[in-house]
Each structure stands twice: as structure tokens, then as C-alpha cells.
Structure 1
Amino acid sequence: MTPRHATRAALLLAATLTLAACAPAVQPPDDPAPPAESAHGDFDGARELAEPALHLATVDGAGVVTHVDLIDGSSETLAEIDPVDELIGDGRFLFGVRDGSVSVIDSGVWTWSHGDHFHYYEAPSRVVGEIVGEGIATVVANDHGVGLRFADEAVLLDQKALGEARIVETFRVAADGVQGTVVPLSSGAAMTATAPDGTSVIEVVTAGGEPHSTQACTGAGGSITTTVGVVIGCADSALLSVGGSLDEWERIPAPADALLPTDFEGRKGRPRVAGLADDGALWMLDTRAREWLRHDIGEPIVRAAAIDDTEGRMVLLASTGDVLILQDGAIVARTTPLVTASLATPELALGISFVVDQQRVYLNGPAENTVWEIAPADGARISRTFDAQHPPLHLAGTGR
């Protein structure tokens, strides 16, 4: 990508998304856990910015990756890759997942936290390469690295090498064939595995893939990183690796043996995250307080993410396509139905995502050819819409 400020006029002329309404102020994530040292901006070609270069990335059915600048609404084609089934982002890198391979794209924009202040960087964007394996991989990308779980192999990538446009596998080891995840830690990873008695467990391994320890985790699911540490969802609890340590594990048990979510969504760098249990219950997990809070709102919800602002808001997607704002356990605002057509088509519904910032929430509508910017603190007002020429099948945020 050409430096953003130098090419603003050209990007506006070449825009493939049309901006409606005015641009809000954008802010960086707050209260984040300091990431691994390899994530710093000291790369050849990187330059420091005075403000975060917040963007949205979308992928269409042909594999065209579009990058939208949230400051001015301009857009450009970031990359053209093979079509994907899923898009994963960590704030800088994008991972396009399909059967048999994962494409890695460096968006060229990111935020670096020093705990009490931030640095913002921009560098040329590029397709880093592909990781090949059997089946459709699960990808977990956090501040410590990138873990991939193929059908029969577990892979951990060197994050610093990705910033240098190199794919370096810290380890690639055989997996037991059960669908699972590889969760990067500060000096290794946590992998889902099956114990000799048939129960699911978390196997903690070193950076070289050597066994280190084992943690019980019935029904192990997804993972998210908060300012407190790395979370892995289990059916009856959440496992918390404090600071991403291999050794400092805590268990946050379910209240009264409730069924818990095993996948979570939330704003980057915040302690509270949200998830939906298999029985439809909505939960907030506070990793700082080490507690769960259940919300019953009286209607089916298909997605939930914690905004975790000063009011503790959550953003929800109802099965009718409305976006709801939850505060203090009550619905305080809702939009009109936005993604009804997308939800009615199962393969499109899988790609609907929230991207959550401090003041704005973004939602993609693949069938509606639209990305909405929503102001959760202002009555769920639609502050901008981006009308896409190419269906935004998948959505991720960059520059965060």
C-alpha cells in the first residue's frame, strides 16, 4: 500500500465503496495487554503515524480483498487471492481460510501498545504467502503469534517473520484428528487434544512443540485474548492463561453448572467479552473480575460482542437482522432490520461479522452489498454506510 496520506486523492478517485454521511472521530483500542515484542513497528519500510490508521477489510466471492480507510472513506484493492471460506484478522494481518490452505496478507497498518500509550504504524501492504495443510484450518491470531489447526497437523507461526514478509513455522506437529485449535502463548501454544480416557483436554506445548503440561477442558472451543490474558472456552468454564503464560493458568467456572459459550467476541484490548451458549443464552465474561454474567433478553440472538465501554455495552445481532444495544441487562436501542436477507441464506450468514471500536460498531451485509457503521452510544444511529460494488462476504478490522 502506498502511504495513506500521500495517496488520498488517488484513493478517492479509485474508490469501490461509496461513503454516506459524515466521518466520526476514531480512537485506538484502550487498556490492551502489551503484545509480544515481535509485534513492534521496528520493521524496514514502516513509518510511525500521529493517529491510528483504522481500516476495514472485506473479501468478495472472487477473493478480492478491499481495504477501506475509516478516516476518509476511501478504498483500494489490498490483494486478490483465491476465494475463502473465512477471514480472520488480528489488527494487522489477515488470514484467508479455505480448504487446503490459508493465505496471509499484511494489511500494512497496525497499533502497538506500550501499556500506557500507543504507537501507530504504516508500511507497504503485501501478500505474505500461504500455509498448506489438510482440510479447512482453524486460525487463532493474537498478540503472541498465529496458530493453525489443520485436520491432522498443528502449526505455530513466527509472528516477527510475518512482519518481514516471511512464513516461518515455529513448529508443525501431528494432531489427533479431532477438530480443534492452536492458541499462541507467550513462549509456546495451547492445543486441543484428546486424553486417553476420551475426554478433551488442552495440551500446553513449548515454542518447539514439545509437551509442557495439560489442562482439563471439556468441550474445548475457541479462544480470545483480553488485557488480562488468553482465554480458551470450555463447556463448563473458561481457562485463563494470565499474560499468555505457559504456567499461570486459572479456571473461571460456570455459575451453578450452567452451559457456557466456547467462542467469544469483544473489542480488542478490553477485559470483558461476550458469547452465546448452545442453548441460546447470552453471557458476558469479565476476565479481570473472573466472573460470568448471564443476560436473558427474550428474543433469539445470533451474534454478540462486548463493546466494554464506560457503560459496559454489548452489541447483538437479532435473528430478525436488527442490531441491538444492551446496557445494564436491558435493550436500550435497536436499528431497523439490516441483514435479514443475508441471515436467510445460511452460507452468507456465516460471514456476517461485527468489528467493534470504542465509539463505533461495523457490520457487513453480504446479500445487501453494504457495510454499516453504527454509533452504539447514540441510539444505535447509522452514522455511515458503505455501499459495496462487490459483496462483502467477510469483514475484519485493521490498524487496531
Structure 2
Amino acid sequence: MMSPGSRPLIPGSFLKIMFNQAFPGRPGVYWFLQGRKVIYVGKAKNLSRRLKSYPRQAGFDPKTKLLLAAADHLRWQGLDSEIEAILTEARLIKLYQPHFNLILKDDKTPVYLTITKAVYPRILITRQTGTFGPFSSTRTLRQILERLRHIFPYCDQPAGSRPCFYYHLGLCPGACIGVISRETYAKNITDIQLFFQNKKKRLVASLKKEMLNFAKAQKYEPAQAVQKQLEALSYFWQARVMSLELPRLSQDQIQLELNQLFGFRVNRIETYDISNLSGTNPTGAMVVATHGRPDKAQYRLFNIRSLATPNDPAMMAEMISRRLKHSEWAKPDLIIVDGGRTQIKAVKKLIPADIMVVGLAKKPDRLVGVNKPLDLNTAAARLLIQLRDEAHRFGRRQHLRLRSKTLFI
């Protein structure tokens, strides 16, 4: 993190200063002052480009022109990532309540993150006021929470009577049905609070201490889980906000990244997932991408016929066995199964040797069965995660349709 910089804005020479002064070409926050009063706080992916754009913007935007006329001082702070800039901007706006942050936002209602004070706290997106914020974009806040939930799971409906939606996805630790203690759940919430307070060092130190304590007690599985949290946080802090979703890059760029990741040309990817409830109404889903883009015309569903008891690997094997009988379908270059080595082992013996089979596991997102790191900042990684999640949603919809038919027979 860089220390704050500043430049006085001399009356009459504002444009010259903004064009000619050197600003850091990195993420950060900046704030305009009138005397000692902060009148506007902003963030930037690139401070140099953003700050030097203000004189041009003032030429056609009356509100920006008004801001520049009122300001007589500018300060900025370079940060390590865009996500840090988002969190720091929210903290500074809440601290200073700058006047121009209201009039420059076209009267949009401020968005906040609220953490309730219940025994099992809830995490909510609220308007007008909240624990953290305001944030400039509901969409950005939702994207951050979506990724953060994979690292520190939390519950939308704690102290309920039935498992919530996210519990079935492995993104809720079970506060909805009481399978997690208050103390353990509170630890997850505290870690989320530290993240939004942008207290990186304190959060990392806390997790490392927890991991060492588990290791000393010879509790190696919990220690490994905390280590994965640390790795996922490291990726997340460096992620660009645009990469929290699948970037809209050119097809050629995504194709290039896929080829580099796997070491051969990946034209067709097939991703598989199983949905069932205790073995009932099991459904398999196949989601396809061709040349680096999802190809919905190639999606297929399989109602599992041979099993009525919970056995995802065997159900996965049945689905892929039936798929391979369709010689009229294009041959895949890469098959991805949702899961780990157990799922890979169940299907690999069925698949021709010239087709690569890998698993894509969660928490954190990682490839299994191949010695390839998954860089979440790349478009290829985001595509693979999108395909896995799409297969889950696609199969689950069919599973729920079958369940509803069974209920009303």
C-alpha cells in the first residue's frame, strides 16, 4: 500500500495540474477537499487515467465542473487491488459524508452491507444505512459477497427449520438447521467483517494462527481447510472486479488461455453434474462450451435410471456411459466433473484415453486430477467455473421438476 499523496489545486491552473502531474498507475482512492473539508471521494482501477480524465469530463458534465470549481486540494492513496479500493472508498464516504458523492450519483439510493446482531447474524444488502458502505454498485457488492461466500460460508435463513438453498450448494455451514455452533459461525462472520474493514494483515494473521493451532493438535483436515481459505483470499484480493464474472473478452483470447492451461487445443468442453435428494429423482446435466463460449444448444439432461440410492459417482458413470453412445454428438476434448478424485475414478475407465478428464472442486475453486493451478484472474478459469455452476443449476431445475411431479401423483 502506498502512502497518501497530495497536490494543491491552484486557482486558474487546475487543468494544467491535472494533465501534467504524475499520478500512480495503479488502483487506489482519491478525495477532493475544500479547505479541510472532504467534498468528494472516488476510487479508480488506475489512478493516473482516472484523475487525468476529470478536466475532459468537466467539459460536458456540469456536476463535475461544479466539483472542480469548488475543490482546492486533492489527495490520493495507491492500493494493491481494485477490491481494496472499493472497500476503502466505502469507508471514507461513510467517515466524511462528502456532499458531492450525493449529487454526482444521480440521486441513487446508497447501498450498504448490514450484519445483524442476532445470535446467528444475517448478512443483508440494505438501503440508506448499514454496517459497511455505502457502495456505488449493488451488482459489485453482490459479486463480492458471492465470491466471499465460497471462502467464509454464511446462512441467509439462520435458526430455521429446514436446510436453506445455499446449504445444498455447500455455501451455508448449516446455521439454518443448527449443525454449526454459535461460536464457529461467529468466527466466519468475524472474518467477513475483517474483510470489509479491509484489515488484511489482521485477517491473515488470525487464519494462520488458527491453522497452526489445528496442526499442533494434529487436526490436519481443519488445518488444511484453513490453508485453502488463505489461498482463496490471496486470489480474491488480487482479482479485478470485472473478473468476478466471466469477462466479455474475445473468443480468441479465452480459447488461447484454455489451450495454455491444458497444453492442447480445447475446442469442446463437456461439464457434468448430478442432482438428487437422498437418491430420489436423480438427474444428470451436461453443459457444453465450444471454442471458449457456452453452447446452450448442446446442453443435455439425463434422468438416472439404474440407482435410487445416494451414489453420485455411480450416477455420474451412468450418465457419461449413456452420453458416449451418442456418436452423432461432437467428441469432447475435455470432460469436467463436479467433484474430486472419487468422481474422476468412477468415470475415467469409461472414457477414451485421448479425452482429458478433470474434476473441478469448490472452496476454493481448483482443478483435481491434473497438476495445473487455476488462476481465478483468467477468463479461462471463470469460464470453467461458470460451466460447473451452470451444470448444477441446469440439473437441479430438472430434479425439482421431477420431485414436484412425484409429490402430486
Please indicate the TM-score interval, normalised by the length of the shorter structure.
under 0.3
Structure with the larger RCO, 1 or 2 (CA within 8 Å, 6+ apart):
1
Superposition TM-score, scaled by structure 2 size: 0.23
Q: Which has the higher strand share?
A: 1
Find the structure with the greater CA-based Rg. 2
Q: Which has the higher helix share?
A: 2
Superposition TM-score, scaled by structure 1 size: 0.24
